[in-house]
Structure 1
């Protein structure tokens, strides 16, 4: 809840103190891209996994997380094409709903959610319907509408359909590869390590999103293939073919550690680069300070 509160007021505080900058956008939405997978995982922990009719299957958790991450990505894909970041109401509704769910859990306990509401309809069904509904009925239509409006008004920033769709290529391939792994894993990797698998998905997706954010705010071309896809292709191929055998789970854990370390390293290096070299001087700011380098 403190994160939700601070995430909602940081932009307003920056505007009041006249310290808004693309760097702030990167840190704000870069962290959001990571927490977009952590929040659903915390909700899944409330309901449990494979513990009766009221539980969520691991495959359902994975599918919903992919939908949530893609919904977050669509807003930045929209800005990549239109130059305007529009966050649908689904984002605010989801944060408010999570806060209510956490408070309700603290008051009544988790056992309440394992009792049917009406007609054998559990709270988990409400959760899935709500999350998927917000994405498909609010976020996606709004993004498509804004893209088409920009196309009709001839204000899109990208010259072709290929260039406009380029930011969606890497996240689509990421989910495609992981879905193949989930479906054909000899050891059932998702069922064995559900939280760690969702963590790896979130970290990798966050790194892809951060690079899109940097491309959009610097008005540069998005990369075609994210580098993490190359080792992932080899890993998924070796896993589903049975080549890894009994070391599939250990290899997966090692890959998860690699992606997490790479993502943290990327964030640290971007911060150092910005602070010491170009963007902070160009923007006339100090990192993590509202004091400017010199008077206007």
Structure 2
């Protein structure tokens, strides 16, 4: 990567201002802690790194892994659009293999960057940005494999909780300047998702309807997933609460620590309004996965905006274009059927496409802008 004074440094217009780009060049990756499974998996990842060609760009590894998961999510949504069907065993096995591929390639990209001497802030941003998108896609796959379409409110909760945990982890990094990994973290969550896929592949989706406790007739095996999500995220929530509540505490931007919370709160309130409209009209029961994606895509962009704010040591704006999409979804579902003559499915598809395009265009513009400023290429080794 060129030095800050390199003549190849070039500013082009985009979402970031030049001050943010200058600060980005000063960013150093800072993380602490290792999860239990990560310690076990590291020897395997080091061995697999030897199989990666030296000419392979680290970001290309990350994007390839995301493409695997996106393909499994697309197939799941195509064959099980309302998460109430029994997904084919081959598809569940493919989803498990795709997730393992993503996990492996995501672990190798940083090692490949150091191995080839191409480590840069763009690589870290690209990695975490893909993680934000993968959180939504993976949660949709898990919810379909576990038959959450029977309880669509829990499907929304699962996706919202997973994205909130992801956001909270980076909010804590925004406050402290360092990402903190716990004993139970991303690697364990991905392993649990693989277990869900394998269970459905060999036992069928009906296994998630079983009652694990005779004295609790309302409890189903699938309920263990949201319960375990809440329990596993409790330590992170406690650390974040202490960080935000510390008197006089400042973020990496030198400002207060509540800024990311306001951005997430604004999105959450609008998403709750859209979810309420979907529940009251029955649209959530008829189109659970479609509406979950429409609400999850704006959250992906908000997570990416926080990651950029952390790496550029700048504040995150509360207002953003992504807030328009849940608002449109709420209005479209509530009155679109008689005001605009649109069906719930048409509203859901329209908002989903618009929100995904907004996120993709934003990500592409940021990557192009940073690559030009650093004098590097996004998917190739210069």
Q: Is this a same-fold pair by TM over 0.5?
A: yes
Could you tell me how far apart the structure 2 residues matched to 1:238 and 1:201 are? Answer: 13
Gaps of 5+ in 2: 1-99
| C-alpha contact 1:80 1:216 (8 A) present in aligned 2 | yes
TM-score (norm 2): 0.65
Q: How is 1:146-165 mapped onto 2 (pairs within 5 angstroms)?
A: 151=246, 156-161=251-256, 164-165=257-258
Encode CA deviations 1:205-242: one digit per residue, 9 max, x unaligned. Answer: 111111111121111221221222145435534644x3
Residue 115 (1) aligns with residue 206 (2): no
Are the structure 2 counterparts of residues 46 and 142 from structure 1 closer, same or farther at C-alpha, using a change threshold of 3 Å? same
Q: Look up the match of 2:198.
A: 103
Deviation, 1:204, is 0.8
Q: 1: distance between equivalents of 2:236 and 2:185?
A: 6
Shift in alpha-carbon separation, 1:128–1:237, aligned structure 2, 3 A: same
Cα offset for 1:27? 1.0
Deviation, structure 1 residue 243: 5.9
Query: Do the aligned partners of residues 144 and 92 (structure 1) sit closer, same or farther apart at CA in structure 2, a change above 3 Å counting?
Result: farther
Name the structure 2 match of 1:265.
361
CA distance in 2 between counterparts of 1:39 and 1:12 reads 24
Q: Is the 8 A contact 2:253 2:313 kept in 1?
A: no
2:268 equivalent among 175, 189, 204? 175
Q: State whether structure 2 residue 115 is matched by structure 1 residue 24.
A: no
Distance 1:41 1:153 in 2: 39
Provide closer, same or farther for how the CA distance between residues 153 and 222 of structure 1 changes in structure 2, counting only shifts above 3 A.
closer
What's the TM-score once normalised by structure 1's chain length? 0.81
Cα contact 1:37–1:199 (8 A) shared by 2: yes
Mapped to 1, the partners of 2:222 and 2:238 lie a distance apart of 25
Deviation, 1:109, is 3.1
Q: Identify the structure with bigger relative contact order (alpha carbons < 8 Å, sequence gap 6+).
A: 2
Please state whether the residue corresponding to 1:228 is helix, strand or coil.
helix
- The 4+ residue runs of structure 1 with deviation greater than 6 A are 152-155
Shift of 1:130: 1.0
Are the counterparts in 1 of residues 129 and 304 from structure 2 also a CA contact under 8 Å?
Answer: yes
Tell me, yes or no, if structure 1 residue 33 matches structure 2 residue 33: no
The Cα RMSD (Å) is: 2.6
**How far does residue 158 in structure 1 lie from its aligned partner after superposition?**
4.6
List aligned pairs for 1:37-56, cutoff 5 A: 37-49=136-148, 55=150
Partner of 2:223: 125
Following superposition, the deviation at residue 155 of structure 1 comes to: 6.9
Answer yes or no: is the 8 Å Cα contact 2:277–2:330 preserved in 1. Answer: no
Q: What is the number of equivalent residue pairs in this alignment?
A: 275
Partner of 2:298: 204
> Among residues 105, 111, 136, which one is paired with 1:6 in the alignment?
105
Unaligned runs of 5+ in 1: 292-296
